[in-house]
Amino acid sequence: MATTFTLNGQRVTTDTDPDTMLVWVLRDHLHLTGTKYGCGIGRCGSCTIHVDGASRRSCRTRLSSVENREVTTIEGLSGNRDHILQKLWLEEQVPQCGYCHSGQIMHAAALLAENASPSREEIIDHMDRILCRCGTYQRILRAVERAAEEG
């Protein structure tokens, strides 16, 4: 059974089993490897994407649930990798291993789309849901705070 949805602004159709978790559809079938597989139970957040603008864990999202919906991955956040968060991630030297960062950036982008001027506490509360194994939380916080300030 084919599933059709909008992926990074383009309509796509896949014949993948509708019960397949979206992370595997994105990585294995559509060859978008920016979305990472971390824990598989929705806890670490490495696989965070947007569905209709809201953060979702793609390891816990079945393909069937995105039928006729809009999915955005890190590859679709910005065509030139020039989204303010992507720029500030580099300026603040956030990446170390780099594994969680697509999920971190996608989760932060959803926050800023919903609340353009979050307080420090709101940023901490929101970003607390994404695990960084390298512990660059202070740099992540600075990057998100700057993105909110710089708009």
Q: What is the pLDDT of residue 132?
A: 92
In angstroms, the Cα distances linking 21 to 59, 63, 129 are: 6, 6, 20
Hunting for tokens 């006729």 — which residue is that?
68
- Over residues 115-142, the mean pLDDT reads 95
Q: Is the pLDDT of residue 140 over 90?
A: yes
Class of domain 84-150: mainly alpha
pLDDT digits (tens, 9 = 90+) for 12-21: 999 999 999 9
Predicted structure pTM score? 0.94
Domain with CATH 1.10.150.120 in the chain: 84-150
Q: What percent of the chain has pLDDT over 90?
A: 91
Give the chain's largest Cα–Cα span: 46
Alpha-helix residue ranges (DSSP H) falling in the chain = 22-24, 74-77, 84-91, 101-114, 120-127, 137-150
Q: What is the pLDDT of residue 18?
A: 98
Q: What is the pLDDT of residue 101?
A: 93
Q: What is the pLDDT of residue 81?
A: 82
CATH code at 3-77? 3.10.20.30
Domain with CATH 3.10.20.30 in the chain: 3-77
Q: What is the pLDDT of residue 48?
A: 98
- Over residues 56-78, the mean pLDDT reads 97
Q: How far apart are CA 64 and CA 41, in angstroms?
A: 18
